[in-house]
Amino acid sequence: MSAPQAKQGRKFDEGRLAQILVAPIISEKATRVGEKRNQVLFKVLRDATKPEIKAAVETMFKVEVAGVTTLVQKGKVKRFGRNMGRRDHVKKAYVSLKPGQELNFSGEAA
């Protein structure tokens, strides 16, 4: 796809969009970032792209996304009994919401 075509709103596979967001990250740091910068953290698939993450959040939660920043957290090397192993790498997405938009994971209907 060319760049102008991407700006006009891509059509993504609905089944793939439903799988991209693995889980929300709810921690002290995520809460602090959410309050300070109006961002929400998600654990996402390792091969997910920023446009796919944006489309998935917008379709699933009916909010407007300003931008997406991603990072890959390397898995820790740990011992499993007498064997050394490594935890899986995790891709995280910091999703910036447009002003006035809000996501609520507490399960309470607003």
User: Domain for residue 71, yes or no?
Assistant: yes
User: Domain for residue 88, yes or no?
Assistant: yes
**Confidence (pLDDT) at 49:** 95
93 is in which domain, residue-wise? Answer: 10-97
Q: What is the pLDDT along the chain (110 residues), one digit of tens a residue?
A: 444 444 445 678 888 888 999 999 999 999 999 889 999 999 999 999 999 999 999 999 999 999 999 999 999 999 989 999 999 999 999 999 999 888 876 655 54
User: Domain for residue 103, yes or no?
Assistant: no
User: Domain for residue 74, yes or no?
Assistant: yes
CATH number, position 84: 3.30.70.330
pTM over 0.85: no
Residues 6+ apart with CB under 8 A from 69: 93, 94, 96
User: Domain for residue 106, yes or no?
Assistant: no
User: Domain for residue 3, yes or no?
Assistant: no
**Confidence (pLDDT) at 34:** 87
**Confidence (pLDDT) at 107:** 58
Q: How many domains is the chain partitioned into structurally?
A: 1
